Copies of this chain bind each other. A is one copy, B any other.
Amino acid sequence: MSGSEKVGGGRRRERRKDDRPAEIIDAAIELFGESGFGATRLEDVARRAGVSKGTVFVYFANKEELFRAVAQTVLASKLGGVRSVATDFDRPVAELIPALLEQAAQVMESRLPAMIRLLIAEARQFPDLVRVWHDEVASKMLALVTGAIRAGQDRGEIKAGDPRIFAISIISPMFTLAIFREVFAETDIDLPDLGPLARQHAATILCGMLAPK
């Protein structure tokens, strides 16, 4: 109570060079997520970050650059998750797939879907970001699953068929539901939860892919 004021509305100008970028990025993540890139005003980002518009331009050359920073921040924070699953590569597919989908259900509970929505929205404006998103996340994910499928096929565990298509069959429900939840978030439309979807879909698709013994 005595000396240290509550930070929120405390002194007006504080010099915190090191924390600013992260704070601005956080604010931008929220606002871009709420209103999209085009409709979000830098001044609002600044205000939410507790900073003036000028400060935003001290740390980010322009709006695009801020968007890049936002996208990379969210993507980077999720990379760990993907990696962790990538480690247990050569378990039997019957174990890998449920684990993978469970993991996906968790990851999709974060800010990632909002980010994905943004990337879908601005894909044409920021082709290089699409590239990053593909190289860092999508293709790695796909490669991981495809590899596991192929291994399973070699072992005679999995039916014949295009592994890339199997991979899409496996992961797309998580992707689709995550997007749907984003899009229909503000409405009263109710959708299944990610967890149950992950489990039932894992069982179904696995059963469809296992080679008949």
Interface residues of A (CB under 8 A from B): 34-39, 117, 119-125, 127, 130-131, 134, 138-139, 159, 161-162, 164-166, 168-169, 171-173, 175-177, 179-180, 182-184, 186-187, 189, 192, 196-197, 200-201, 203-209
- Distance to closest chain B CB from A33 (angstroms): 9
Q: Which of B122, B138, B139, B201 contacts A169 (CB 8 A)?
A: B201
Instruction: Determine whether the beta carbon of A168 is less than 8 Å from that of B173.
Output: yes
Beyond A36-B121, A172-B177, A204-B209, 6 additional pairs, beta carbon < 8 A? A120-B120, A127-B187, A165-B196, A204-B208, A207-B208, A208-B208
- Distance to closest chain B CB from A107 (angstroms): 16
A186 partner residues in chain B, CB cutoff 8 A:
123-124, 127, 130
Interface centre among A34, A134, A169, A206 (most CB of B within 10 A): A169
Interface centre among A161, A164, A172 (most CB of B within 10 A): A172
Q: Which of B165, B179, B187, B200 contacts A120 (CB 8 A)?
A: B179
Instruction: Determine whether the beta carbon of B130 is less than 8 Å from that of A187.
Output: yes
Instruction: Determine whether the beta carbon of B134 is less than 8 Å from that of A165.
Output: no
Provide the bound-state CA to CA distance between A35 and B121, in Å: 10
